[in-house]
Amino acid sequence: MTLPSPAWWRTLLVTLPAVVVLTVAAGVAALATTLFDRSGHAAHRLAQWWGRGVLAAAAVRVRVRGLDALVPGATYVFVANHQSLYDIPVLFGSIPYQIRIIAKQSLGPIPFVGWHLRRAGHILVDRAHPDREGILRRWRGLVGEGLSLIIFPEGTRSADGTVRRFKSGSFTLALQAGLPVVPLSIAGTRHVMRKGEFTVRPGVVSLVVHPPIETRGRAAEPGIEDVRAFAAEVRAIVAGGVEALERAGTA
């Protein structure tokens, strides 16, 4: 019989209990803040604290490069590759903006996590029957409030780290609204928590924030080919960053 690895035992005895406590504490506090702060700003500040705490509990360090290219207080659409469940705490803990994500609807009923997502203004989507007009309407509302957005246009996690084709639908609003798009390259999270596994492993994650891509003037009324071409352009930047990190051994 093969004995569980030390990382498995650490996950069971240290990381998992710490994550549960942090999630419950941050979730309860975030729900309380929505009683007087309907914008969700205070709830997201707690989510940033939660992200850093989850990473600390797992002994995961994050190296961030490129934040100095962003304008403080600006509104962006952040576009990231997706390797692991740990991408969320990495981004929440590392991006110093009021950000909201588009997440799958099945997270909604999960205690504390789903409650926070709903009350803090994140967008939950039924992937089997997506209401595209409704999503865009919600998205425009968030942008109108000066909130930045994070999307994972691959649609699912990549087990081997390869950046898959970007679905084009998420790029429509950025072009229509003229919002700058910021490509993000995440490398290393797939080693921290592999898709379909329970074990969380300590390690180093790299996050590269690429310079914003201006969308104003690209297409006043973007057609499907404009959107697809733009999605492919952003994917090439994200994938290039991931590949460079992998080659350099910094992931």
pLDDT tens track for 4-56: 889 999 999 999 999 999 999 998 898 888 888 888 899 999 999 999 999 99
Please indicate, yes or no, if residue 211 is contained in any of the structural domains. yes
Question: Are the beta carbons of 144 and 209 closer than 8 angstroms?
Answer: no
List the domain range (segments joined by +) for residue 18.
6-248
Confidence of residue 3 (pLDDT cuts 50, 70, 90): confident
The whole-number average pLDDT for the span 184-211 is: 94
- Mean pLDDT over the full length of the chain: 88
Choose the weakest-confidence range: 22-36, 66-80, 94-108, 124-138.
Answer: 124-138
What does the DSSP 8-state code read for residue 220? S
Please indicate, yes or no, if residue 130 is contained in any of the structural domains. yes
Return the CATH number at 212: 3.40.1130
Name the residue with higher pLDDT: 125 or 210: 210
Confidence of residue 168 (pLDDT cuts 50, 70, 90): confident
Q: Which tokens in the block code for residue 228? A: 């697809």
3-state SS record for 9-72: HHHHHHHHHHHHHHHHHHHHHHHHHCCCCCCCHHHHHHHHHHHHHHHHHCCEEEEEECHHHCCC
Please indicate, yes or no, if residue 1 is contained in any of the structural domains. no
Please indicate, yes or no, if residue 200 is contained in any of the structural domains. yes
Number of domains the chain is built from: 1
Q: Where are the alpha helices (DSSP H) in the chain?
A: 6-10, 16-33, 41-57, 87-94, 113-119, 132-144, 172-177, 189-192, 224-248
